[in-house]
Amino acid sequence: MLKVRTYPDAVLSHRAAPVKRIDREFLRLVNEMFDTMYREKGVGLAAPQVGESLQVCVVNCTGKKDGELVLVNPAIIESSGEVSDEEGCLSVPGIRSDVIRAERVKVRGYDQNGNEIEVTADGLQARCLQHELDHLNGRLFVDRLGEAARMVIRPGLKALEEQHKKQA
């Protein structure tokens, strides 16, 4: 099992490198990411969250095996609408806040076999895809909050910073 990195770990604030090769080691990482995501009861997980600075994320908003999605070197190519809903993050434990996101997105990338794919999503899956792609670009959901919401969560972030210092 992989260890989920938490705020303010530096790997979470940098843009991840593109995946250049899909090999056995990469596929092992993808499988371990799914295992870790399920263990932590998440619906998505990006490689930087487990300390790997690579442009890959795994998503499953259904909880069923056929709902698993792997996106390699993904990008949002279309978005529409706007909706606000509560988000949390495995890398920012204990903190939740409303975040404004696009209501619908179309994402283009590659699957774990190197095949180009496009995914059109709305609802929870659209939110999850945007959240995970933010991770690949070194951005956390708390970075999207306005000043008032940031003030509300500031004590929680300070506690995570102190915990990080103790573990370092």
CA 17 to chain centre: 15
The answer to whether 6 touches 92, Cβ cutoff 8 Å, is yes
**Cα dist from 129 to 92, 132, 159, whole Å:** 17, 5, 28
Q: Catalytic residue among 40, 116, 132, 162, which?
A: 132
Beta strands in 10-165 (DSSP E): 44-46, 56-59, 69-80, 83-87, 97-101, 104-110, 116-122
Three-state DSSP at 128 gives helix
- Catalytic residue status for 87: no
Strand bridging mode 116-122 / 104-110: antiparallel
Residues forming the active site: 132
